[in-house]
Structure 1
């Protein structure tokens, strides 16, 4: 990612203020499927609202983002509500992929979340990071119900990318978003 992109995200996260722990959009209505403990990976975690929510549900979380400002906001959010050490914050450029971006983190994970970061080249790595019986929750911007644009997924992108390797539990496209919740068999 270009330095200008990182700075743009830093500015955006600084301006947004404190977040509130919240489940990933793709998991809403299916929270009962979340394991009571285990490891989670929050890819492109932003200000850490999902990481904080996962930690509050008993998971040990690796939260990855390119923005130091976003990671700092997430760390502050978690520090105010969770025991120390529940979330590990990792600054990484996901444009470099998983292996180059954060090679010291090992999976598999019981829960993998990627909310509003779309890079189809990372879809295989996201699926590979899910442990047997684990969950994958992905939300991306979508062309469905929207005018389209360079960062929006075409119809069916998520089910096509993940249905072969994972069992799709829930999928929805509309209003400019696509959500997928899947489980590794």
Structure 2
């Protein structure tokens, strides 16, 4: 994990990851649709750039980012943009609810979705099962 540079936390909720990244020296943009969640995050780390935006409308930021984190928000239409905003050597950390080891459902990714979407990156870790899929990769 880099100690300097830019980081992006998508669908950040109350900003736990964004705050963690900022406290490690990164300049953080944190995006969520909830003004309540963003306000809670802002109280913890006013230095983070808190952005209220609906990701259904696309990414409201431009890269490059040294770290991109997206946990439990799934929009396959955004996957190319997530890879595009990564700086060379940038780290992507993403997890989604998945049908892997679970009955699935309309909001769960089919097994292997993240690996298929980000397989062109250098995949450092990929895991799926128990209803989740996660991937860590470097550009």
Regarding TM over 0.5, the answer is: yes
Q: Write 1 or 2 for the structure with the bigger share of strand.
A: 2
SS in 2 for 1:75: helix
Stretches (4+) displaced over 4 A = none
Please report the RMSD computed on the Cα atoms of aligned residues, expressed in angstroms.
Answer: 0.9
- Match of residue 179, structure 1, among 105, 126, 134: 134
- Match of residue 56, structure 2, among 95, 110, 132: 95
Q: What TM-score does the superposition give when structure 2 sets the normalisation length?
A: 0.97
Gaps of 5+ in 2: none
What is the total number of aligned residue pairs between the two structures? Answer: 139
Task: Tell me, in whole angstroms, the C-alpha distance in 1 between the residues paired with 2:43 and 2:130.
Answer: 32
Match of 2:9 in 1: 42
Gaps of 5+ in 1: 1-33, 79-83
Q: Write 1 or 2 for the structure with the bigger share of helix.
A: 1
Task: Tell me, in whole angstroms, the C-alpha distance in 2 between the residues paired with 1:46 and 1:128.
Answer: 23
SS in 1 for 2:58: helix
SS in 2 for 1:52: helix
